[in-house]
Structure 1
């Protein structure tokens, strides 16, 4: 074996059924100029073994779809992944996923492929999206050898962009939930967090339309400009 082959990441061995399902996945659609209401969105939340992007693992996945300007409550996506090797740590106190739940979980490759089929060609929304994007990207590569190419929009950035006069001490998800008086069934439960993030996103989309931002592409472009101004303000 030459050095390049040794350094190249080992591709996971997949059965024929998984390979066929992967081949059938649609390519992600670019952000377009359709209205925010017309766009189908998938709101994602991951529970992980910790916050280390290089070491920690995805333990459970929750997602809901926003279709025709409303949350599709009848078809949420939820999977706990089979992680029997995961040791109990402080994160269990937050998300409650102990050894028995992880031992009974779904095969990671199957669960992740189910998620990508649920996402389809839609853009993804998440609160602190870069973290979810990086964790999901690594999980897909490790379990399926699949490259994540979907557009992600960060609700944690969208909220202050559209509410410049709102000053929050932490500006976390709980703070924005309280700011808009939303009700949440259970925090740090993937589906519940995805659902309340979707409710927050719908409020923000309504604000965006009032500010003449009514397409996914416009939102992404405005966020890019906002991010650049913020970096310049911090001298970066």
Structure 2
């Protein structure tokens, strides 16, 4: 083992995982990869959103995950995931006012390893979609590394914050937030900042995108388009 890797493993030890969860994790790892060669409108996507104790990737913690499926452009509301990870201490009152997950709900949440395993079993190996992947992805990875020893860096991700303007360029002069796209497409969301509600709203934005996308557009081409949009945004604004 090289010295840098040794040092890294010393400060980031592998988690001790319950045997039952380890077996489920191995089954998840063995799942086949999805066929991404078909038009992206035909692919099953997992749309997700997270709630956290704050906006610091280093200091703050993952509190909740909401996820839904988007299958052939449809959202089966009977198949969703909404989990709260048990916290050692609740987030601040100011933070609770945003996501409305009470102190008691945080302290009585699901064991983090179990909650994250449920999340992995829900998403399978399907492509993932979020609004601002640059925040949701590292927050998920941080928790997954801590409790299950894995990350989602090798999964296919789409960021609606950059994909939506590709199909509605007249609305792309500024970097729009989720509220903007919900208002534009008349999407109702009475529980804004609740992870599952925001995931479903993001999925509805994705539905509109699918209706506007060229026929037979492949996800590989869409990823190239997204990457170009990100580069342009970074050149204009200095950040992703």
Q: 3-state SS of the aligned residue for 1:178?
A: helix
Equivalence for 2:10: 7
Equivalence for 1:86: 90
Q: Which has the larger displacement, 167-176 or 114-123?
A: 167-176
Equivalence for 1:153: 158
Matched, 1:43 2:8: no
Structure 1 segments unaligned to the other structure (5+ residues): none
Equivalence for 2:99: 95
Q: Is the 8 A contact 2:127 2:156 kept in 1?
A: yes
Match of 1:190 among 187, 190, 195: 195
Q: 3-state SS of the aligned residue for 2:146?
A: helix
Q: How does 1:72-221 map to 2 (within 5 A)?
A: 72-148=76-152, 149-166=154-171, 171-209=176-214, 214-221=217-224
Q: Is the 8 A contact 2:65 2:83 kept in 1?
A: yes
Alpha-carbon distance between aligned partners in 1 of 2:100 and 2:43, rounded to the nearest angstrom: 34
Deviations 1:118-151 (A, max 9, x none): 1101010000111100000010000111122312
Distance 1:169 1:38, change over 3 A: closer
The alignment yields a C-alpha RMSD, in angstroms, of: 2.3
Equivalence for 1:19: 22
Deviations 1:137-166 (A, max 9, x none): 010000111122312110011111221111
Per-residue deviation at 1:78?
Answer: 0.6
Alpha-carbon distance between aligned partners in 2 of 1:152 and 1:77, rounded to the nearest angstrom: 18
Work out the number of aligned pairs and report it.
233
Q: Which has the larger displacement, 140-149 or 224-233?
A: 224-233
Q: Is the 8 A contact 1:87 1:99 kept in 2?
A: yes
Per-residue deviation at 1:30?
Answer: 6.9
Equivalence for 1:64: 68
- TM-score calculated relative to the size of structure 1: 0.90
Q: Is the 8 A contact 2:38 2:216 kept in 1?
A: no
Deviations 1:73-115 (A, max 9, x none): 1111010111132342421110011210111210000000110
Q: Is the 8 A contact 1:62 1:76 kept in 2?
A: yes
Q: Is the 8 A contact 2:90 2:107 kept in 1?
A: no
Alpha-carbon distance between aligned partners in 1 of 2:53 and 2:238, rounded to the nearest angstrom: 34
Per-residue deviation at 1:222?
Answer: 1.1
